[in-house]
Amino acid sequence: MTACFLQPLDILYLRGNHLFGDAGSFGAALMPPWPSVFAGALRSHLLSTTGTDLAAFARGDVHHPLVGTPSRPASFAVTAVHLARRHRDGAVERFYQIPADAVVLDDGAKGVALYLLKPIEWPLPGSYPLALTPLLQAPQGKPAIGYFLGEAAWQDYLHQRPITSAGLIHGSKLWASDSRVGIGLDPVSRAATDGALYTAQAVAMTTNGEFSSGFAVDLAGLPDGIAAGVIRLGGDGRGAALQPIDVVNSVAPDYAAMVKARRCRVVLTSPGIFPGGWKLPGLRHDHAWSLGAASGRMASARVARAETVSGWDLAKRGPKAAERAAPAGSVYWLDQLDADETAMRSLVERGMWPDSEDDPVRRAEGFNRFSFALWT
């Protein structure tokens, strides 16, 4: 396992899956972006630094020992992407998205604090399909959005310990939006089209004398690490400096406690390309779940509306297939857990991918990654 820090040298165009370009349209940035954005940029970096013929690679005529081919990846894979900032002393601090079972509330004088939803057996009949319904029990306050968890707060979350405002950081401390005006082009003449002005939202990462914001990316399948350099990142290929960094090993859930309690939470750290846009792979109609050497029952879930993941395939010069995905931060509560620590660690290392219908390309791009967390 290796990791790198990507520091943008310019604004970034991190587009989602919404079309824009028509007169008066607005192209919003997707922050944090999909892991595939980084997988593609880093694959290109690996190919170029090893002198690979890119045209031959795109045709599938070249098999790179680490990258593989466009349709059949080799050992290289993205395992995690985090918003991060690099301090003046070189230390890199990672930040984590607020999970779906957590709500940040602002009660005014006391500031912001994070509260967790608790699954309960709802006494009244309803349309919720699972056995337990997530319920928020918290003091009165106004919901606060745009926050992220620091590394210590993420560790507290995995162990279901209280989290205060000291463990939270607002996204405005890490980046700012920068709107740019563009003009549509005629697809044939490539000349500007009259009246076809549109606005595209760019992202400007924060840089000052104390730290530089960027992205920390964890990688697998690179026995010799990754070379420093400058890569093209996001739309229009804006530059970003790549620097190898240490892998974080201190953030880990308490597997022994989960095995003993026979229940846990599954927290997505990247979008999950799941059946129906939200169901865990290995889930049956009776909500029993089995994957690898682990099994249990999905007792509850907190999943936002499915998002559509696609992208652009440079090798095929066309769009990738659009697929429904559960957003990063989605939470699933599992009880009747039957697994040992080895099985749980193996599943985290592999990702939430079924043995059948596995998508090696999306898997290498970093989708379906998750962490186990305590459920007390």
Q: Supply 76's token pair.
A: 């290289």
Would you tell me how many other CB atoms lie within 10 Å of the CB of residue 246?
11
Predicted pLDDT at 26: 67
Q: What is the pLDDT of the chain when averaged over all its residues? A: 90
Q: Supply 369's token pair.
A: 């990654």
Domain ranges of the chain: 2-94+203-245, 95-172, 255-373
Q: How many residues does the chain have?
A: 376
For the residues 56-83, what does the mean pLDDT come to?
93
301-337 burial string, b = 16+ CB within 10 Å, else e? Answer: bbbeebbebebebeeeeeeeeebbbbbbbbbbbbbeb
Q: Does pTM top 0.85 for this prediction?
A: yes
Pick the CATH number of 255-373 from 3.40.50, 2.40.128, 2.60.40, 1.10.1660: 2.60.40
Predicted pLDDT at 20: 56
Q: Which value, to the nearest 10 degrees, does the dihedral of the CA atoms of residues 303, 307, 312, 315 take?
A: 40
Tens of pLDDT, residues 298-337 = 999 999 999 999 888 877 888 888 899 999 999 999 999 9
Using an 8 Å Cβ cutoff, are 113 and 107 in contact?
yes
3-state secondary structure of 113: strand
Q: Which value, to the nearest 10 degrees, does the dihedral of the CA atoms of residues 83, 86, 90, 93 take?
A: -50
pLDDT at 32 over 80: yes
